[in-house]
Amino acid sequence: MTMKLWGGRFTKEENELVHDFNESLSFDRRLYRQDIRGSLAHVTMLARQGIVSEEDKEAIIRGLKGILQDLDEGKLEFTKEYEDIHSFVEATLIRRIGEAGKRLHTGRSRNDQVALDMKLYCRDEINELHRLVKELLKQLLTIMEDNLDTYMPGFTHLQKAQPVTLAHHMGAYFEMFYRDCQRLQDVRERLNYCPLGSGALAGTTYALDREYTAEILGFTGPALNSMDAVSDRDYVIELLSALSIIAMHLSRFSEEIIIWNSNEYQFVELDDAYSTGSSIMPQKKNPDIAELVRGKTGRVYGALMSILTVMKGLPLAYDKDMQEDKELTFDAIDTVKGCLSLFTGMLSTMKFRKDIMEASARKGFTNATDAADYLVNHGVPFRDAHGIVGQLVLYCIERNMALDDMSLEEFQAVSPVFQEDIYEAVSMKTCVEKRVTAGAPGQEAMRKVIDRCRGRLKELKETERAE
């Protein structure tokens, strides 16, 4: 009796629980544009193959376009009773245009439909990500062009090592983000095969023209194995892996900015818009945005680990587990897009304290190797030269001065080999400008690299236009 009392209610609630657990409309609604784009291509092909009539095709296309417009304008609401975006769009179409709407799903399954939607979505987002990384590259190039003679310490082990320039340091990040652009292009190229027409897993009995739908949708061609096509999420994994690498690069860069912005360094000054004060300590200006970009790396890596884990035990072909690809992919894409735009903004408004950077390089004995080289060039064996400069460094540290703050007498007290031209030999300018091997910080070498970088940016643009 008691059982029966809440038994009916339990069944009802359980059904609701099952629906809520199973549904994806709450998040895959963001695929509506891709879903409709896919359906438009599918029905166009169905009509050309004589599988649906021209008249039905026209009605379906009109219906789909109306749904698209109403969703864009917020005039149509996603109602909870539908399981996913595919059933929502189809049901809405049938409600609006009647019988003809029921012919849209001919020769199609939600399995190839969702695979298509997700591919189209990833491709669209890759284009946007590519654009955002390019914006960052442009900003880096501007800083490089402006700072060929901004001397600063180069570090190893976060210890001042040898002098470099800000152009050179930024150039290192240019390389990283350039590779990121290439990686995104690679992912786009490899994913660009159309799953539509694979049906549930084994193709269909209708005479579909898969080449044609692939072409309409801008794919290189149809995917060649229908079981693979409905269950392949490699491109999601590749994209998340490319995003993880971008996040890692942004995080390293953020870390440097956080260090450079600290009281101890003061190499940079963040714009007020990209920093916040403390509610209790009036002297503080915190690099919150850089810290958040660094912190958000965690969720992007997390998304990659999640999808790898979701996919690892799945038997062919489609399994519902794959629905789990969406939220984490959306989140990782949103996160990286946000990080990229904010980072570029932060970089373009940040001030570099060139005087402090150069002074830091001088005070850090980054020219000690060059002082030893000076002695070697004047006949002193390297091992002795190393010892002599070591003594000089100790002398300077005790007096809190830089090598070139010493008088010639002080130099000569340690080694008579030193002459007036030692000042020129250990100036930051000389130390950097002598480094002219390809890829080194010397202006001559750096200018060549900058020219190449300009060319590479242009090539990236051209690739995009060629699509």
Are the CB atoms for 325 and 307 separated by under 8 Å? yes
CA distance 364 to 343: 29
Tracing tokens 């652009």 back to the chain, one arrives at: 181
Residue 43: which of 89, 76, 82 has the closest Cα?
A: 89
- The answer to whether the peptide bond before residue 100 is cis (omega within 30 degrees of 0) is no
Those residues whose C-beta lies under 8 Å from the C-beta of residue 455, and which sit 6 or more positions away, are none
**Which residue, 130 or 233, is less far from ligand ARG as judged by CB?**
233
CA distance 253 to 294: 8
- DSSP H stretches of helix in 163-315: 166-191, 210-216, 226-231, 234-260, 288-311
**Which residue, 84 or 180, is less far from ligand ARG as judged by CB?**
84
Q: How far is the CB of 79 from ligand ARG (least distance, A)?
A: 16
Q: Are strands 193-194 and 221-222 parallel, antiparallel or unpaired?
A: parallel
Catalytic residue among 157, 168, 169, 407: 157
DSSP string for residues in 35-57: HHHHHHHHHHHHHHTTSS-HHHH
Q: How far is the CB of 184 from ligand ARG (least distance, A)?
A: 24
Q: How far is the CB of 319 from ligand ARG (least distance, A)?
A: 9
Catalytic residue among 26, 262, 278, 341: 278
**Which residue, 100 or 240, is less far from ligand ARG as judged by CB?**
240
**Which residue, 93 or 371, is less far from ligand ARG as judged by CB?**
93
Are the CB atoms for 331 and 257 separated by under 8 Å? no
Cα 458 versus chain centre, distance: 19
Amino acid type, 13: E
Q: How far is the CB of 24 from ligand ARG (least distance, A)?
A: 4
CA distance 145 to 134: 16
DSSP at 114: H
**Which residue, 106 or 323, is less far from ligand ARG as judged by CB?**
323
CA distance 243 to 247: 6
Q: How far is the CB of 315 from ligand ARG (least distance, A)?
A: 14
Helix H or strand E encompassing 162: strand 159-165
What residues pair up with 268 in beta bridges, in sequence order? 352
Are the CB atoms for 380 and 417 separated by under 8 Å? yes
Q: How far is the CB of 90 from ligand ARG (least distance, A)?
A: 12
CA distance 250 to 349: 17
Q: How far is the CB of 19 from ligand ARG (least distance, A)?
A: 13
Q: How many residues does the chain have?
A: 467
Q: What are phi and psi of 189, to 5 degrees?
A: -65, -40
**Which residue, 111 or 367, is less far from ligand ARG as judged by CB?**
111
Cα end-to-end span (Å), the chain: 69
275 belongs to the catalytic site: no
**Which residue, 28 or 358, is less far from ligand ARG as judged by CB?**
28
Residue nearest to ligand ARG (CB): 323
Q: Which residues bind ligand ARG (CB under 6 A)?
A: 24, 28, 84, 110-111, 114, 318, 320, 322-323
CA distance 159 to 55: 74
Q: How far is the CB of 130 from ligand ARG (least distance, A)?
A: 25
157 belongs to the catalytic site: yes
Q: What are phi and psi of 392, to 5 degrees?
A: -60, -45
Cα 79 versus chain centre, distance: 34
Are the CB atoms for 339 and 250 separated by under 8 Å? yes
Q: How far is the CB of 324 from ligand ARG (least distance, A)?
A: 8
Are the CB atoms for 113 and 54 separated by under 8 Å? no
**Which residue, 21 or 465, is less far from ligand ARG as judged by CB?**
21
**Which residue, 24 or 92, is less far from ligand ARG as judged by CB?**
24
- By annotation, the residues acting in catalysis are 157, 278
